[in-house]
Amino acid sequence: MESTLYRHLGAHLVTQDSVAGTKFSVWAPNASEVSVLCDLNSWMHGRHPLNSSDNGVWWGFVPGLKQGDAYKFALRTRDGHLLQKIDPYAFASEVPPKSASIVCDLNGHAWRDRAWIDQRETMNWYEQPVSIYEVHLGSWKRPQDGRQFFNYRELAPLLIDYVKELGYTHIELMPINEFPFDGSWGYQATGYFAPTSRFGSPHDFMEFVDLFHEAGIGVIVDWVPAHFPTDGHSLGSFDGTCLYEHSDPRKGFHPDWGTLIFNYGRDEVRDFLLSSAHFWLDVYHIDGLRVDAVASMLYLDYSRKHGEWVPNMFGGRENLEAIQFLKDMNTLLYQDFPGVLTIAEESTSWGGVSRPVYTGGLGFGMKWDMGWMNDTLRYMRREPIHRGHHQNELSFRMVYAFTENFLLPLSHDEVVHGKQSLLSQMPGDPWQKFANLRLLYGYQYTQPGKKLLFMGGEIAQWTEWNHNVQLDWPLIGQPLHDGVRHLVGDLNRVYRSEPALHQCDNSGEGFRWISADDWQNSVYSYVRQARDPGEFVIIVLNLTPVPRHDYKIGVPTAGFYTELLNTDATVYGGSGQGNAGGVYSQAGVCHGQNQHISLTLPPLGMLVLKPVTGAKLKA
């Protein structure tokens, strides 16, 4: 198993016999000829041929080929056809729609993030706040000077200031590996070792990551080992044979996306993908990989009808080679890069996705809780008058909430393909839509699990995401939209400052219901607790537009409960109903407790209350 092939294969600037040029190595075991195409030879096959070898790697040296020069490989297939292919291990590419690989020396960046890396290596993220702002760099913000995109170096300070203002701990970049089609959003990659040139050079991207680390913000990238596009210049039929993909379309072609599926059982393909995963953390100091479409990798019958898939050697539907690859990948990355995160987008009930490999798990650090997302949005789309008949849709999650290390996503997938923006999905008149959205975010931030919100959600866009235009920044300055943005910032600050809201995210000791069965009022209440039993907060959700007065909640201890956060506060665009900063508990049995508090529950609102140490009881 090899995970650093990028140090050997591909194009590397060298000096050979006092002559500067580029050394090439490319795996193409079934080609009969391979040569380099470039400006030096007028892109003519055969003028710079490579040498064959017993292991299928063709190699050679092209004098005079320098930093920034474009190239491709010309491969003669065994039946005589000539193919032009990009370098699978290229470090840079031409700006699409051009597709040639670019000679690039990745040395030279003086990293300034040693303190960040040292801190990361000792970090237990499971007990720390993890709040992620998901970003599509091409449509977050665009220049007004006629250019299509900002450069990585231009984007960094703009994005850093914004992310710090909102209080996020990490950003997650939708795929920044090179890709030909803008409409794929990067999820159909051609450059597994090249950051997309749309936003600048590899060194520009290094500076982007470095600036985020200096600002104390982690950088996670989406990574796609599940499939790759059929573009003629890419990996498909690379040497005239199915080299990277399965030859049997029942295993090698994805019917949903019209893409090719990697042959995970082939050593060279496995090492290619392991090297790609290792590369981003090694060379670019990335803090984690969110692995896309894991479910499609795990099951041989994923999105296939009877007769359209091939069982494994035991007659089952599990993709044994892909499962082993994922285990190998996670073991490797956590071994070589302590403190990083691998996060699975996995939408099924597969067990142990985020459990260690040595206990039989896949070894991911975290798993997206797609069940939470689906159940919560289904519930929140309902008119409040109907919610009481679906009380279990929110409470059901606690049956499985601690079976994985979950991350709660409100991602780009929920605001595309006609689904509308989150705001537009909410029921009611405009005021109720905003109140419901604030309530949705409050519920997300107080549930066990780490957090993710896609860009645009924080400003409550009316329109669903469009990758061809920037966010609706003119909404800033409009009171209701500003209210949501201010709430997201305060949710992040409360989440980060209160251990009860993050320290026991993956343990049942961090959560207990006060009441989950008040379906008549559509009210939920629960306790979030830190490792210290005395460190807790009370959460109360009113999921109807009807204020509830003198609503009693049983509490664990006597004292004064301060109102840490109220999503109905006027600063957030709410009606301002609440509890004047807090309430004293009173003696009397309620919800199995000997103390209770009487609250005003704001309409479509959430309260976060915390006991104040040393406060005197009201006489």
Catalytic positions, please?
Answer: 292, 345
- Are 521 and 389 within 8 A, CB to CB? no
Query: What is the number of residues in the chain?
Result: 619
Q: Is 406 helix (H, G, I), strand (E, B) or coil?
A: strand
CB atoms within 10 A of CB 497: 12
CA-nearest of 549, 559, 603 to 583 is 559
H or E segment and range at residue 134: strand 131-135
Note the maximum CA span of the chain: 95
Give the tokens for residue 417.
């393909």
R_g of the chain, CA atoms, integer Å: 27
CB atoms within 10 A of CB 258: 11
H or E segment and range at residue 71: strand 70-76
- Are 519 and 389 within 8 A, CB to CB? yes
- Are 299 and 254 within 8 A, CB to CB? no
CA distance 108 to 455: 33
CA distance 365 to 363: 6
Sheet holding 536-542, edge to edge: 511-518, 523-529, 536-542, 605-612, 560-566, 582-584
CA-nearest of 533, 541, 493, 539 to 510 is 533
CA distance 525 to 507: 18
Task: Give backbone dihedrals phi and psi of 366, rounded to 5 degrees, phi first.
Answer: -145, 165
CA dihedral 170, 174, 176, 182 (to 10 degrees): -150
- Are 274 and 3 within 8 A, CB to CB? yes
CA distance 313 to 323: 14
